Structure 1
Amino acid sequence: MQQDSLAQKLGLAIRAARSAKGWSQERFADSISMHRAYYSSIERGEKNITVATLARLASGLGVKPHELLREAQL
């Protein structure tokens, strides 16, 4: 599996979790003290994020990191 497709699958899972809560990208990024443009690039699968960033995103979404990975089928 290509690295790009991993980031894209994870980005889609993160987007789905955020959207399910009815939050805009800007609102969510602000809530976790992340620049909206950087967060947007994560959702688009353009960034290979660290485990620390995954944990930060998961915490902001109220889920565990493994739940996002499972949703992304990784």
Structure 2
Amino acid sequence: MVEHTHQAALADVIRASRVALGFSQEGFADHIQMHRAYYSKIERGEKNVTLATLERVAKGLGKTMSELLNEAGL
């Protein structure tokens, strides 16, 4: 069983936000000009994202980094 970490909480919020916008993982990765495999690792909580990467994802979702972190309870 995988421990629910801060990364996992943020990953859940990112995934839910992407799905709510109707994007596939591949489509969203293309939208933010990120490799699909790398983006997939972010959504699985396997990557500890930098602030620059989090900002890129947040902008693609139409949110701020603050909103994503707050939604993740961080």
Q: Same fold (TM over 0.5)?
A: yes
In the TM superposition, residue 38 of structure 1 has moved relative to its aligned partner by 0.5
Question: What percent of counterpart residues are identical?
Answer: 61
Runs of 5+ in structure 1 lacking a partner? none
Aligned pairs for 1:30-69 (under 5 A) are 30-69=30-69
In the TM superposition, residue 8 of structure 1 has moved relative to its aligned partner by 0.6
Aligned equivalents of 1:59, 1:22: Cα separation in 2: 16
TM superposition outliers: structure 1 runs of 4+ over 6 Å? none
In the TM superposition, residue 57 of structure 1 has moved relative to its aligned partner by 0.3
Aligned equivalents of 1:18, 1:67: Cα separation in 2: 14
Aligned equivalents of 1:67, 1:23: Cα separation in 2: 19
Aligned equivalents of 1:39, 1:63: Cα separation in 2: 17
In the TM superposition, residue 41 of structure 1 has moved relative to its aligned partner by 0.4
Aligned equivalents of 1:17, 1:11: Cα separation in 2: 10
Q: Matched residue of 1:29: which SS?
A: helix
**Which of the two has greater helix per residue?**
1
The alignment's C-alpha RMSD in Å is 0.9
